C-alpha cells in the first residue's frame, strides 16, 4: 500500500506522454524525476496508459516504489534503470513484455510482485535482474542462492541473470524454449541448473564463466549450442550432447579445464573455432561420422589428449586445430581430408608417427618464396616425429610442413608430389635422407632442406640432376625391382606395350608372365639388364594373349 500523503503528493506529478497508433499512450518522466512512491495512472487525458517508454524513469535515484496498473502491457528498455533507491515494484496483470535492462542497477530492489503464473510474458534482454546483485530479488517465490523461474516465462533473454554471483541453482520450467545470449554469464556460484526438454536453443555465451557448474544435461530438443555457450565453466567435468544437436558454435566449451571426455554425435556437422581450446584435462573425444570440418584452434592446448580419430567425413582441419596437444601419441586422419590448415598439429611434441592420406591436396600456407613467412607448418615443432608417411595422391608439401621435426631421420615422398613449399624440412636436424618415388617436383622453393640431407631418386624417373633444392642427389635402389610406370613408348594401338623397371645399375631383372594372377603358370618372358638403373621393357606378343599379367624379380 502507498500512503494517502504519498498519493496526494503524486497527484501533482506531470507525465510526458506519446500517443500510440491505437490511441493509447506511452508514459515518460515529466519535467523532473519523481521521488518516493509513484503510481502510474490507468488513463491520462482520457487515453488508456498501455506502456512505459524506453528509459522513461532512468536514473531517478529518489524513486522508492512503483505501482504499474493492469492496463499496461509493455515496460520499455531501461525504463527504471539506475533507480538506485527503488525497493518495491508491483506489476499489473496485463504486462506481457518487460524489455531489456528495465530494472538494471536497481541496487535497493527488495520486492518485485508480478501477476500470478497465468500471465504470459518473457524475460528478454536483461529484464528483471540486477547485474550488480549477488542474490535474486525479483519474484516472491525466490530466495537467495536458488531460483525457480515461473511457468509464465517463455524465454530467458540476453544477459537476464548477468553477474548474479550468489546464485547457486536454477530450475527452468517447461514453458521456456530458448536460453538467450549471455543469459547466465558470470554466475560464478551456479553449480546446478535444470534445463527442460522444451528448450531448443542454448544461445551464445549462455553460461559463459559459470565456474562452479559441474554437470549439464542438454535436453533432446536442443538443435543449436551457441558460440561460447559453456566457455570457462572450469568445474564442468561431464556434458552429454544429444543427437538433436546439429550445430555447436565456436569456443562453446573453451577453457572447460575439468572436462575429461566428450562424444560428438553423428548429427553435428561442424566443430567450431576454439570449441575445446584449453580444455587441459580432456583425454578422450569421439567425433561423429557427419562432421565435415574442424575449426581453427578447435583443440588448442588440449595437452592431455592422447589419441584422435578423424572420420572420413571430415574434409578440412582448421589452422592450429591441435596446436600444443603435447600428449598426442596417435593421430588417424580420415581418407576424406582435403585441407589441413597452417599449424594444425604445431608443437605436438609427443607425436611419433603420422600418415597423410592421398586425399590431402592443401596443407599449410601457400607455396612460394616467402622465406620470412611466419605462417606455421602443419607438423612444425613435432620434435618426436620419427615417421611421416605420405600416401600416393598427395600432390604437394606445404610451407614449413615438417619444420623443426628434429626426430625425423628419413622421409619418403610419393610420385604424386609435384610441389614442395619453402622451408618444408627446415630445422630437421636429424634428417639424413629424402626418398622420392617419382619425377623431380617441378616446384621446389628455397630452403626446402637446410641440413646435410641426401636426396635419393629411383632410376628411370625424370628431372633429376646432381643436386635438388641445393642438396646432393643419388640413385635409390630398393631391395627388389620396381615397376615405375608405362614409360614414353607405351602405345597399345601400335602393339607397343611395356613398362619401366627400376633397380640397380647393370643388374639383370627377369620379367615373368602368366594368364592367372593367382600365382599359377608364371613363366619367364625376358631377362633385362638395367643400364643406369632402369630399362624399358616391351612385350610384342601381349596382344595375342587373352589375358596376361606381369611380375619382376632379380635373376
Q: For 226-367, where are the E strands, in sequence order?
A: 238-240, 247-248, 261-263, 270-271, 284-286, 293-294, 307-309, 316-317, 330-332, 339-340, 353-356, 362-363
In a domain, 408, yes or no: yes
Say if residue 53's pLDDT is above 70. Answer: yes
- Is the CB of residue 551 less than 8 Å from the CB of residue 516? no
Higher-pLDDT residue of 178 and 137 is 178
Residue 123: its pLDDT value, please? Answer: 44
Residue 168, in any domain of the structure: no
Question: What are the helix (H) ranges across 158-237?
Answer: none
In b/e form, how buried is each residue of 12-45, taking b as 16+ CB within 10 angstroms? ebebebeeeeeebbbbbbeeebbbebbbbeeeee
Dihedral (CA of 477, 480, 485, 489) sign: positive
Range with the poorest average pLDDT among 164-168, 172-176, 475-479? 164-168
Instruction: Please name the residue that has the C-alpha cell 613398362.
Output: 499
Domain of 534?
482-554
Q: In 3D, which of 219, 224, 304 has the Cα closest to residue 257?
A: 304
User: What does the pLDDT read at residue 181?
Assistant: 84
160-171 per-position pLDDT tens digit? 677 667 778 888
Instruction: Give the pLDDT confidence of 70-120 residue by residue, as tens digits.
Output: 899 888 888 988 888 888 888 887 887 777 677 777 767 655 565 544 344
Domain-located, residue 418? yes
> Confidence band (pLDDT; 50, 70, 90) for 173?
confident
pLDDT of residue 92: 81
Q: Which of 12, 18, 13 is nearest to 30 (CA)?
A: 13
Report residue 61's pLDDT band, with 50, 70 and 90 as the boundaries.
Answer: very high
In a domain, 375, yes or no: yes
Any domain includes 377: yes
Residue 207 lies inside a defined structural domain of this protein? no
Q: What is the mean pLDDT of residues 540-546?
A: 80
The residue with cell 520486492 is 111
- Together in a domain, 324 and 380: yes
Quote the pLDDT of residue 50: 95
Q: The whole model's pTM is what?
A: 0.77
Query: Between these two residues, 82 and 456, which has the higher pLDDT value?
Result: 456
* Grid cell for residue 8: 496526494
Mean pLDDT, residues 491-495 = 62
The count of domains in the chain is: 2
Q: Is the pLDDT of residue 476 over 70?
A: yes
Percent of the chain topping pLDDT 90: 55
What CATH number did the domain enclosing 384 receive?
A: 3.80.10.10
For residue 145, pLDDT over 60 is answered with: no
Q: Is the pLDDT of residue 130 over 70?
A: no
- What are 217-247's pLDDT values in tens digits? 899 999 999 999 999 999 999 888 999 999 8
Q: 340 - beta bridge partners?
A: 317, 363
Of the three residues 426, 443, 476, the one that is the final residue of a domain is 476
Amino acid at each position: 500500500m502507498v500512503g494517502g500523503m504519498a498519493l496526494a503528493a503524486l497527484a501533482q506529478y506531470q507525465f510526458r506522454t506519446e500517443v500510440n497508433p491505437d490511441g493509447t499512450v506511452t508514459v515518460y518522466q515529466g519535467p523532473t524525476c519523481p521521488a518516493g512512491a509513484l503510481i502510474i495512472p490507468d488513463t491520462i487525458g482520457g487515453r488508456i496508459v498501455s506502456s512505459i517508454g524506453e528509459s522513461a524513469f532512468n536514473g531517478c535515484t529518489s524513486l522508492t516504489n512503483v505501482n504499474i496498473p493492469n492496463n499496461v502491457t509493455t515496460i520499455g528498455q531501461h525504463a527504471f534503470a539506475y533507480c538506485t533507491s527503488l525497493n518495491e515494484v508491483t506489476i499489473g496483470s496485463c504486462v506481457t513484455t518487460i524489455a531489456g535492462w528495465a530494472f538494471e542497477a536497481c541496487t535497493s530492489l527488495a520486492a518485485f510482485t508480478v501477476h500470478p503464473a497465468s500471465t504470459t510474458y518473457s524475460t528478454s534482454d536483461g529484464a528483471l535482474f540486477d547485474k550488480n546483485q549477488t542474490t535474486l530479488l525479483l519474484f516472491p517465490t525466490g530466495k537467495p542462492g536458488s531460483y525457480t523461474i515461473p511457468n509464465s516465462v517463455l524465454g530467458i533473454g540476453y544477459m537476464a541473470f548477468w553477474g548474479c554471483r550468489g546464485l547457486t541453482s536454477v530450475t527452468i520450467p517447461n514453458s521456456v524454449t530458448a536460453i538467450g545470449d549471455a543469459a547466465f554469464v558470470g554466475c560464478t556460484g551456479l553449480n546446478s541448473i535444470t534445463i527442460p526438454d522444451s528448450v531448443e536453443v542454448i544461445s551464445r555465451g549462455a553460461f559463459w564463466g559459470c565456474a562452479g557448474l559441474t554437470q549439464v544435461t542438454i535436453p533432446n530438443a536442443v538443435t543449436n549450442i551457441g558460440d561460447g555457450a559453456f566457455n570457462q565453466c572450469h568445474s564442468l567435468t561431464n556434458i552429454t550432447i544429444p543427437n538433436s544437436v546439429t550445430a555447436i558454435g565456436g569456443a562453446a566449451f573453451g577453457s572447460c579445464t575439468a572436462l575429461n571426455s566428450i562424444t560428438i554425435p553423428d548429427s553435428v556437422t561442424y566443430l567450431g573455432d576454439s570449441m575445446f581450446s584449453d580444455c587441459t584435462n580432456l583425454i578422450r573425444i569421439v567425433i561423429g561420422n557427419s562432421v565435415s570440418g574442424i575449426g581453427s584452434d578447435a583443440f588448442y592446448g588440449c595437452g592431455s589428449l592422447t589419441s584422435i580419430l578423424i572420420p572420413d567425413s571430415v574434409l578440412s582441419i582448421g589452422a592450429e586445430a591441435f596446436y600444443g596437444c603435447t600428449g598426442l601419441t596417435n593421430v588417424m586422419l580420415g581418407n576424406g581430408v582435403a585441407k589441413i590448415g597452417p599449424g594444425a598439429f604445431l608443437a605436438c611434441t609427443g607425436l611419433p608417427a603420422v600418415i597423410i592420406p592421398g586425399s590431402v591436396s592443401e596443407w599449410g600456407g601457400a607455396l612460394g618464396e616467402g622465406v620470412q613467412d611466419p605462417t606455421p607448418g602443419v607438423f612444425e615443432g613435432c620434435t618426436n616425429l620419427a615417421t611421416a608417411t605420405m600416401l600416393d595422391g598427395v600432390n604437394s608439401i606445404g610451407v614449413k610442413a615438417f619444420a623443426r621435426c628434429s626426430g625425423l631421420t628419413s622421409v619418403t615422398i610419393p610420385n604424386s608430389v609435384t610441389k614442395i613449399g619453402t622451408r618444408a624440412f627446415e630445422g630437421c636436424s636429424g634428417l639424413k635422407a629424402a626418398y622420392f618415388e617419382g619425377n623431380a617436383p617441378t616446384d621446389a622453393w628455397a630452403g626446402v632442406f637446410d641440413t646435410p640431407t641426401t636426396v635419393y631418386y629411383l632410376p628411370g624417373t625424370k628431372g633429376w640432376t646432381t643436386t635438388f633444392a641445393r642438396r646432393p642427389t643419388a640413385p635409390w635402389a630398393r631391395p627388389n625391382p620396381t615397376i615405375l610406370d608405362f614409360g614414353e613408348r607405351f602405345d597399345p594401338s601400335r602393339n607397343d606395350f611395356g613398362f619401366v623397371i627400376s633397380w640397380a645399375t647393370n643388374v639383370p631383372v627377369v620379367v615373368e608372365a602368366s594368364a592367372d594372377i593367382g600365382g599359377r603358370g608364371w613363366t619367364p618372358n625376358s631377362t633385362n639388364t638395367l643400364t643406369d638403373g632402369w630399362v624399358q621393357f616391351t612385350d610384342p606378343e601381349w596382344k595375342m594373349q587373352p589375358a596376361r599379367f606381369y611380375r619382376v624379380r632379380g635373376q
